[in-house]
Structure 1
Amino acid sequence: MDWFTKLPFALVCGVLLASLVPESADGCEFCLVPTLTFTEQVKQSKAAVIAEWKSATPPVGDETGQTEFVVQQILVDADGLLLENESLTVNEFISGTKGAPFLLINDNAKETLAWTHPQKLSPEAREYIARAPSSNVSTTTRLRYFLRFLEHPDQDIAIDAYGEFARASYDDIKAISGEFNPVQLRKWLSDSSADTTRRGLYGLMLGCSGGPEDARFLEAIIVQPTQEFRLGIDGMMAGYLMLNRAQGMTVLDKAILDNQEIVSSEVAALAKAMRFLWDFEPQCVPRPQLQQAMRKLLVRPEFVELTIADLRRWQDWESTALMPQLLADPKHNFPSTRRTIVRFLLAAASEENTSISVQQRTQAQRILDDLSKQNPGLIEDAKRLQYD
C-alpha cells in the first residue's frame, strides 16, 4: 500500500503489529501462533516415542557422538519398527541423567529411522504428553484437557497448551466457555509478570464467560490512556464488547475513535475487534452501529484502504456519499487507495447489488462516470487489480 512509505516508521510498526494475529476460522483471532505443539509434532512424524536417557558417548574427532535411550511409550510407529523397553540410538551426544524422559521425533520419510534433536521433558511434561488426547479426538474434547494447563509452572506445558487454543477456531473455544473461570481469567490479565502474548485469548475467553463485573474490569484496562503498543488489547476489546454490547461500543467509540491523540495501534485493535463481532457475534452490537463506528476510521490515512474494504464487505452503502471527499483529499492520492475507493463504488453501482437504495446506486454511478472522464485508466486498473 503506497501510503506506508509516507508514514512515520513507529506508526507503521504499530499498525502492522496489531495485525500479527490470525483472522481466520482456522485459529483464534486474537492469538499469536507459537511453534508446533507436541500433538502437531507427533501427528506429522513417522515415529514418535517417549524414551528414557540411558547413556551417551561424547564426540571424538570427526565423530558426532551418540546417545542411547530406552523406549517407554510409543506415540507413533508408522512402519511398526519399534518396541517398548528396547534401546534406540541417536547419532548425537545428549547429556543427561539415567531415567530422564525425552521426546524423540522422527519426521524422515525414509525407511531408516532418523531422530531429530531429542526434547528433554520434565516428569510433568512427560505425563502431560502421555495423557493428551490424540489429534483424532474432537477439538472441544482436546481443549477441555488443555484448559487446565494454560498457566502451568512448566513453561513447555503452558506454551503448548496455549498453542492448542491458538490453533482452535472461535466456535470450538466458545463451545467450552462454560468451563472457563472468570475470576481466574481476571487474575491472569491483572498479572503484570504474565506472558502478554496470551492477553488476547484471555480477554476473549472472559467475553465468552463473564458478566457485568468482568465488563467493568475490561473497560478499566481498555480506556486507560497509553502511548504504547499493547499486545492482546484487541482480544480484550472484543471480550468487552461481547459483555457490554451496544453500550460498550458507545464507550469505545468515544474513548478511542473520537480521540485524535490516541496511538494507531489502539485504533487498529478496536477495528479488529469490530470485524470479529461482525463475523462471529453479530447479535452483540447492532450492525448499523458497527458501520457508523468503522466510518470514523476514514479520517485516519493509515486506515483508509482497509476501512473502505471493510465497509464494502459490510455493504455500508451510506458511505457512498463520502467517496468524492476521499478522492479529492491529497492525503489519499495514492494509486492503491484510489483503486480501493473505485472498487467500493463499482460494488455499490452494480446491478447485482440488491442491498443498496436506488439513490445510493445512482450516486455511485455518477461518481464513476465523473472519474471515467478525469482518469479513464483508474477504473480499468481497479477492475484488473482486484487486490493491492
Structure 2
Amino acid sequence: MKSNSTFVSLCRLLVAVLAVLLAGRPAAVSACPFCSAVSLTFSQEIAQSQVAVIARLIEPPTQASLSPRADGPLPKGRLAVVEALKGGDLLDGAELLDVDGVRQIETIMIEAKPAGTTYLLMAVEPPKLIWGSPIPVSERGIDYLKKLADLPAKGADRLAFFQKYLEDADDTLARDAYDEFAVAPYDDVRGLESRMDPTQLLAWIENPKVPANRRRLYATMLGICGTKADADRIGAILANTNPDPAKAEVRSGLDALIACYVTLKGPEGLDMVDSQFLSRKDPAVPFTEKYAAVMALRFLGEESTVVTRERVLQSLRILLLEPKLADLVIADLARWEDWSVIDQLAELFEKAGDDNLFVREPVVNYLKACPDRRAAEVLERLGKLDPEAVRRAETLSGLAGIISPPKPAVGTAAGLPAEGGDADPGDPSTAGPTVAAPAPVTGPTAAETELAARIPPVLGDEDATDDAVAIDPSRAVAAVESPAAVVTPAPAAARPVDSPWMSTFGRWCGVAILLATVAVLSRMAMRSSGAA
C-alpha cells in the first residue's frame, strides 16, 4: 500500500514539473484571467500571413472527392479573388490562374459549399504562395475584416469595436470578438468600463446557452462595471445547487463568477465564499468547486483593490483543515509571505497518511522558503521523520533548475533589481535571510540552484476547473524550490552564455527523461498490481 502511495505521490510531482517546464514563457496578464482564446484572432492570422484575400467559390470540389472512401488526391475547389486585404502586390507575381482577367486560386477544400460562397484565404511563401484552409465569411464578416486594419493596435478603443460583436448572430464574428478580449491586456478592458453595459452582461451570464468560456469573460467584465445589486444576482447563482441541467449550466465558469461576486460585494462577499465553498466538508461540495474558489482567491489576491491580501489569505488558510486539499494553497501562502502556519503545516506533515502523502513536498518547500529560523528547526525534525519526502522535493527542484530557461543576471536591466533596488514583494526568496538546510544535499550546482530558487508567480488566467480537470500550479512548487539553502551565485560576467538552441535542446532532453521515468514507474506499478 505504501509503495503504491509513494508511486502516486511521485507521479503527481513529476506531472507538476512537466507543467512548469512546458509552460514556456510567462503569458501576459489577459483581460479574462479565467479563460483563454479559443483560436488565433483574425487580426493575428492576417498579421502572420503574407497575403490575405476575399475570394468567391466558383467551382466546388466534387461530391465523389469528398467521400471518406475516395481515392486519389485531396479534394480541391476553385475560387476567384474578389479583393485583397493584404499583400495585393504579391499576387501579381504569384502563380495564379488568370481567366478573363480574374485571378483564380485552386486550393484544398474539405467541405461542400455552394458556388458563390465567400471565403477568407491567407497564404505564405511568395511567389508560389501556399494557401491555408478557406474560412467561410458572410457579407457582414467581410465588412468586419475590412475594418480590422484601421483599428488601434491596443487599448480600450480597440476593444470597443469588438464589444459590439460579443454574442453576435454570426457565430464566427462572436468567436473572434471573444478571442480579442481573451488576449487583450487587463488594463485595456478596465479602460472600457464606462462603455460596458452591465445589464447585457448579466443577461448573458444568466443565459444557459452561453458557453462557459464566454460566461467567464462576461463575469470578469461585470466585476469591473457592475453594482451591488448585480452582485446579489450573481450570489443567487452561486447559492443555487439545483441539479436541473439548465440551472447547473449557468454556474459553469464558477471561478470567474466567484471573483465577480466578491469584487462587487466587497469583503463580506468572502464570508459567503468561505461558508459556501471552503468551510463545508460534506461530499456535496465537489473538488472542482473548491478549486474554482481557490482560483478566484488567487485572482483577488493579485488584482483586487476591494479586498486585502490578508483577508484573502484568511480564506486560503481554511483549506489547511482538509489534509487532502491543503497542498492546493501552501504555495500561495509562501508566495504571499504568510509565515503564520509553520506549526500547522508541521502537523500536516506528521499526520499525512497514504491518501495524502503528497502534501509533504509542498510543506518542505514552504519551510525552505520561510525566513523564520524556527522553520529550519522544524524542517530538520521533519526530515528525520520522512527523509524521502525531503529528498524528493530537492531532487525534483534540482531537475527543474537544470532544465528551466536561464534567468537574467541579477542587477541587469532584464533581471532582478540590484542590491538596494526594489525586490519582488511576492517572492519568498527575497523576503529575508535564507534558511540553512537541515543537511547537505548532493545535487545541482550553485548556478542551477539559483535558477530554481524562485517560486513561480500565481496565475489567475488558467483554464477553468469546474468543467474540466486542471493541473493545479500550486502543486508545481515542489518542483521549483531551491534544494540548497545558501547560494552564492557566480559573478554575472563569469557565467557562460548559453546557446538558445542548446538551452532548448537540453530542456526537451530533460522532459524526455521525466516522461521515461513516469513510463517506467507506471510499468512497475502495473506489474505489481498484476502480481497482487
TM range (shorter): 0.7 to 0.9
Shift of 1:43: 1.6
2:90 paired residue number: 80
Alignment-mate amino acid for residue 160 of structure 1: D
Secondary structure of the residue that 1:81 maps to in structure 2? helix
Instruction: Tell whether the 8 Å contact from 1:66 to 1:89 is kept in structure 2 after alignment.
Output: no
Please tell me the residue identity of whatever aligns with 2:153: V
Q: For residues 257-305 of structure 1, give each alpha carbon's deviation from its aligned partner in whole angstroms, at most 9, with x where no partner exists.
A: 1222312211111111110011111x21122211111011123344322
Change (3 A) 1:125 1:263: same
Question: How far 1:380 moved relative to its partner?
Answer: 4.6
| Structure 2 residue 80 is matched with structure 1 residue 70 | yes
Report sequence identity in percent: 29
- Deviation, 1:333, is 6.8
Matched, 1:271 2:294: yes
Question: 1:51 aligns to what?
Answer: 55
Partner residue of 2:307 out of 281, 285, 291: 285
Q: CA separation of 1:243/1:56 partners in 2, compared to 1, >3 Å: closer, same or farther?
A: closer
Residues in 2 aligned to 1:301 and 1:169: alpha-carbon distance in whole angstroms: 37
Which of residues 336, 340, 343 in structure 1 aligns to 2:362?
340
Shift of 1:214: 0.7
1:326 matched to 2:326: no
The alignment status of 1:101 with 2:118, answered yes or no, reads yes
CA distance in 1 between partners of 2:45 and 2:341 (Å):
48
Query: How far 1:330 moved relative to its partner?
Result: 2.7
Confirm or deny that 1:122 pairs with 2:145.
Answer: no
Q: Secondary structure at the match of 2:90?
A: coil
SS at match of 1:91: strand
Structure 1 pair 97–255 and aligned structure 2 pair: CA distance change class (3 A): closer
User: Which of 45, 49, 53 is residue 41 of structure 1 equivalent to?
Assistant: 45
Query: Which structure is higher in RCO with an 8 Å CA cutoff and minimum separation 6?
Result: 2
CA 1:293–1:96 in 2, change beyond 3 Å: closer, same or farther?
A: closer
Q: Which among 154, 159, 175 is matched to residue 159 of structure 1?
A: 175
In 2, the alpha carbon distance for the partners of 1:82 and 1:217 equals 58
Residues 308-387 of structure 1: matches in 2 within 5 Å?
308-331=330-353, 336-348=358-370, 350=371, 361-376=372-387, 378-386=389-397, 387=478
Residue identity matched to 1:266: E
Match for 1:212 among 223, 228, 234?
Answer: 228
Tell me the SS of whatever aligns to 1:385: helix
Spell out, residue by residue over 1:63-104, the C-alpha distance to the aligned partner (whole angstroms, 9 max, x if none): 656533332332232872359x84122233675555432111
Change (3 A) 1:87 1:65: farther
Q: How many residues are aligned here?
A: 358
Moved more, 370-379 or 215-224: 370-379
Aligned with 1:218: secondary structure? helix
Find the aligned partners of 2:254 and 2:348 in 1 and give their Cα distance: 30
Alignment deviations for residues 291-327 of structure 1 (CA, whole Å, 9 cap, x no partner): 1110111233443223101111111111212112111
Rounded to whole Å, the distance in 2 between the matches of 1:78 and 1:329 is: 70
Which shifted more, 46-55 or 199-208? Answer: 46-55
Cα 1:334–1:252 change in 2 (3 A) is closer
Supply the distance in 2 between the matched residues of 1:3 and 1:379 (Cα, whole angstroms).
Answer: 13
Equivalent position amino acid for 2:281 in 1: Q
**CA distance 1:78–1:46, change in 2 (3 Å):** farther
2:277 is the alignment partner of 1:249: no
In the alignment, the residues of structure 2 paired with residue 384 and residue 242 of structure 1 have an alpha-carbon distance, to the nearest angstrom, of: 40
1:35-83 Cα offsets, whole Å, 9 max, x none, are 2222222122122111223344647884656533332332232872359
Partner of 2:28: 25
SS in 1 for 2:83: strand
1:139 CA displacement: 4.2
Q: What is the distance in 2 between the residues matched to 1:142 and 1:202?
A: 17
For residues 328 and 164 of structure 1, do their structure 2 counterparts lie closer, same or farther at Cα, with a shift above 3 Å needed?
same
Where in structure 2 are there 5+ consecutive unaligned residues? 10-25, 66-70, 94-100, 398-477, 480-532
Partners of 1:219 and 1:308 in 2: CA distance: 28
SS of the aligned residue for 2:56 comes to strand
Deviation at 1:371, TM superposition (A): 2.2
Amino acid at match of 1:279: E
Give the TM-score normalised by the residue count of structure 2: 0.61
* Whole-Å separation in 2 of the counterparts to 1:69 and 1:254: 61
Tell me, in whole angstroms, the C-alpha distance in 1 between the residues paired with 2:320 and 2:92: 62
The letter for the 1-side match of 2:119 is F
State how far apart, in whole Å, the 2-side matches of 1:4 and 1:175 are.
Answer: 49
Distance in 2 between the 1:26 and 1:3 partners? 36
Amino acid at match of 1:235: A
Q: Offset at 1:201? A: 1.0
Q: Is the 8 A contact 2:57 2:115 kept in 1?
A: yes
Matched residue type, 1:69: L
The answer to whether the 8 A contact 2:60-2:77 is kept is yes
- Contact between 2:278 and 2:290, CA under 8 Å: does it hold in 1? yes
1:195, 1:335 → 2: CA distance? 37
Q: CA RMSD in A?
A: 3.0
Q: Please tell me the residue identity of whatever aligns with 1:270.
A: A
Q: Tell me if structure 2 keeps the 8 A contact 1:43–1:135.
A: no
Is 2:325 aligned against 1:303?
yes
Q: After superposition, what is the alpha-carbon deviation per residue over 1:133-187, rounded to whole angstroms, capped at 9, x for unaligned?
A: 4687114332111111011011111111111112223222222122110110111
Distance 2:136 2:187 in 1: 34
Letter in structure 2 aligned against 1:103: L
The amino acid across from 2:382 in the alignment is: L
- Aligned partners of 1:382 and 1:4: how far apart in 2? 14
Task: Note closer, same or farther for the CA distance 1:78–1:317 as it changes in structure 2 (3 Å cut).
Answer: farther
Asked whether the equivalents of residues 51 and 69 of structure 1 are also in contact (C-alpha less than 8 Å), the reply is: yes
**Equivalent residue runs for 1:164-203 within 5 Å:** 164-203=180-219
TM-score of the pair, normalised by structure 1: 0.82
Q: Is the alpha carbon distance of 1:86 and 1:335 closer, same or farther for their aligned partners in structure 2, counting shifts above 3 Å?
A: farther
Q: Distance in 2 between matches of 1:70 and 1:33?
A: 31
Worse-superposed segment, 141-150 or 89-98: 89-98
